[in-house]
Amino acid sequence: MLLPLYQVDAFTDRPFAGNPAAVCPLTEWLPAEIMQAIAAENNLAETAFFIPKSGNEYEIRWFTPAVEVELCGHATLASAHVLYRHLNFQAPEIVFHSKSGPLRVSQGAEGRLTLDFPARPPQPLSTHPDGLLDGLRATPLSIHAGPDLVCVFNSEAEVRALHPDMTHLARVEYRAVIATAPGTDGIDFVSRFFGPRVGVPEDPVTGSAHTTLVPYWAERLGKTTFHARQVSARSGDLWCELRGDRVLMSGYAVTYLKGEIEVGA
């Protein structure tokens, strides 16, 4: 069985930056173990699979090399890019039905794609979870818990300088650990995302993390629109807005590879 496969760099306007995602359009679902095996073979942070539902609606699922996840921003952005750029999708909005509910993606005149995701505000924690300080090799100013653990630092330089011990960090009983701090030079806040527990030691640019970061920074800075940057080695930019209980995240995407994979005998 031959299946189409695309590799897309998301949240960037140039190749070899942003977050690479594999996208595999399907006509019907494959067994979960086959999709997991494809994701492990791709060995990218996420592989997205989608099938048509009706009109502008699709069902979508995401797999890291190790597990299926309930929400992924960059691979959703990459999937929308594949539909618009390669599969002749024409409607102004795509609706992806997922385990996290309906996720809408629209394309702006300037070429940026905008994700409409649920906001997931974090709550402050008064104690350090087991493994956190040994894992980060640094002590944050404050810690907040949402689906991921948010560790707030004083400066961008501190976030960039982190060199975590992934063995210890994998003991932290959250999906992932996010480090964040105020940005500089017009960037409202920066972040890095560590997910050894789900098979992603460091994710280059993480849309889902911003469903938690944007509500945090909105409360702290008293504003609702942001230019955010994830300061991994590959780096990537997001233009975000908190709109009630939703977070809008906009970014660019570029195709790196398109081809076919052969699955089964």
Residues with active-site annotation? 46
- Residue with token string 């494959």: 30
What's at 213, amino acid-wise? L
| DSSP codes, the chain | -EEEEEEEEES-SSTTSSEEEEEEE-SSPPPHHHHHHHHHHHTSS-EEEEEEEETTEEEEEEE-SS-EES--HHHHHHHHHHHHHHS---SSEEEEEETTEEEEEEE-TTS-EEEEEE----EEESSPPTTHHHHHTS--SEEEESSSEEEE-S-HHHHHH----HHHHTTSSSS-EEEEEE-STT--EEEEEEEGGGTEEEESS-TTTHHHHHHHHHHHHT-SEEEEEE-SSS-EEEEEEEETTEEEEEE-EEEEEEEEEE---
**Secondary structure (H, E, C), 232-265:** CCCCEEEEEEEECCEEEEEECEEEEEEEEEECCC
What's at 21, amino acid-wise? A
Round to whole Å and give the CA distance between 28 and 108.
Answer: 29
